[in-house]
């Protein structure tokens, strides 16, 4: 490649201003053929060009290729533009500088339109407005990578979540808003007494619906430490203001923490839950914990027809056959079983852990749970 691009560099390379204009001109030429070059890559390319100099065209070629290209498909177009730009002369005399675009950076905080730059007069020149939202950036950030302030903001946003389970048909009936369904003889006769015995208006009933019970089992073992508190915050948002929600902590033993999370103050609720769970950040025995849940709560009625959400990374110190057996028992009585694994979002993740591999055949939905956005999608999945 060095032989293909050997030659003499552009004149005036010693002049820093001219070299910068040449670097920008080359980027313009690349964008002109459809190559997307980010602004940050342009700055990196200018610094790289200053370091390698423009006397050796092969060094210029590789500096540009390393800093400006983001997709392998752009390589043929890059080679063609490079040969035209650096070997036929446009780089020797920099093109006349175009008026710089004004870029206004505005924080997308819902406060209205972006303000003009301080101290500048209004101009007729086109203005490129770049908006960014701190909330949107935070929404997809992994909890394990968040700072303390970012976690606090994510927890504050999580408190606004509304977690509602999908409704189920009820044996009770309700008054129909339209004349359809089963005739309601009692209400019809009662109304007829007020009109001299004439059934002027006939009443009907229709099947009623009730929200399904929601059961959440949260793994609070040591391997889940970066995510456990955020998941408990999500669980707190599901418990507050709703009935028919049960919450259990899974570690070396099973602990019911529904009552501890009933407080509307999330910090106080989390503190009481941490006191109640004596094995927080300890080991994990998912199979034994699920067996106790099935024996004492699940099969007896808590999980029957319910949506069961298990939040765990699947690392289990117990026998995987016990976990598979208990997951099968749970799946037979539950309406749906959703497994939330924060590690699922990791690149190249495969459920190879013994516990995860044993449980997966008995799971209806296997979803991520590493960020605020993934928990919002989990809330939608529960309500689906």
309 part of a folded domain: yes
Q: Is the model's pLDDT at 128 over the cut of 80? A: no
What is residue 1's predicted lDDT score, i.e. its pLDDT? Answer: 44
280 and 334 within one domain: yes
Q: Is the model's pLDDT at 140 over the cut of 50? A: yes
146 part of a folded domain: no
Q: Which domain holds residue 179?
A: 172-209
Chain segment 149-199, per-residue pLDDT in tens? 888 898 888 888 888 877 777 777 878 877 777 888 888 888 888 887 777
Sort 358 into a burial class: Cβ within 10 Å, 0-12 / 13-18 / 19+.
buried
47 part of a folded domain: yes
| Secondary structure E strands in the chain | 102-107, 127-132, 167-175, 182-183, 204-211, 214-219, 245-250, 254-256, 307-311, 336-341, 365-368
332 and 254 within one domain: yes
43 versus 342: the higher-pLDDT residue is 342
CATH code of 295's domain: 3.40.50.410
296 and 187 within one domain: no
Chain segment 2-55, per-residue pLDDT in tens? 444 444 444 444 456 667 777 888 888 888 888 888 777 888 888 888 888 777
295 part of a folded domain: yes
255 part of a folded domain: yes
Comparing CA positions, the residue from 244, 261, 227, 255 lying closest to residue 307 is 244
């Amino acid at each position: 490649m060095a032989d293909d691009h050997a030659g003499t560099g552009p004149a005036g390379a010693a002049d820093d201003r001219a070299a910068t204009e040449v670097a920008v001109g080359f980027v313009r030429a690349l964008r002109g053929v459809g190559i997307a070059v980010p602004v940050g890559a342009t700055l990196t390319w200018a610094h790289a060009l200053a370091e390698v100099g423009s006397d050796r065209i092969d060094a210029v070629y590789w500096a540009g290729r390393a800093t400006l290209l983001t997709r392998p498909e752009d390589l043929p177009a890059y080679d063609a533009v490079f040969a035209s730009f650096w070997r036929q002369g446009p780089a020797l005399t920099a093109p006349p500088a175009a008026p710089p675009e004004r870029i206004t950076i505005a924080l997308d905080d819902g406060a209205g339109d972006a303000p003009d730059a301080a101290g500048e007069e209004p101009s007729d020149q086109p203005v490129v407005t770049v908006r960014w939202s701190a909330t949107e950036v935070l929404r997809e950030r992994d909890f394990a990578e968040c700072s303390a302030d970012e976690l606090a903001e994510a927890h504050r946003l999580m408190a606004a979540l509304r977690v509602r389970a999908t409704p189920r048909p009820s044996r009770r009936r309700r008054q129909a808003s339209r004349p359809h369904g089963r005739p309601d003889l009692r209400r019809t006769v009662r109304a007829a007494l007020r009109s001299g015995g004439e059934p002027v208006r006939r009443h009907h009933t229709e099947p009623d619906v009730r929200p399904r019970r929601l059961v959440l089992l949260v793994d609070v073992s040591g391997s889940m430490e970066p995510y456990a508190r955020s998941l408990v915050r999500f669980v707190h948002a599901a418990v507050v203001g709703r009935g028919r929600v049960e919450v259990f902590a899974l570690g070396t033993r099973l602990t019911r923490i529904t009552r501890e999370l009933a407080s509307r103050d999330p910090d106080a609720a989390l503190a009481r839950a941490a006191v109640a769970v004596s094995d927080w950040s300890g080991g994990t025995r998912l199979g034994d914990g699920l067996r106790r849940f099935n024996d004492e709560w699940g099969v007896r009625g808590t999980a029957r027809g319910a949506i069961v959400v298990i939040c765990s990374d699947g690392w289990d110190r117990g026998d995987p056959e016990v976990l598979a057996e208990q997951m099968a028992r749970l799946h037979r009585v539950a309406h749906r079983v959703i497994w939330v694994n924060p590690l699922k979002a990791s690149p190249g993740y495969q459920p190879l852990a013994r516990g995860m591999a044993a449980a997966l055949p008995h799971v209806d939905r296997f979803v991520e749970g590493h960020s605020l956005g993934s928990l919002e999608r989990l809330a939608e999945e529960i309500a689906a």
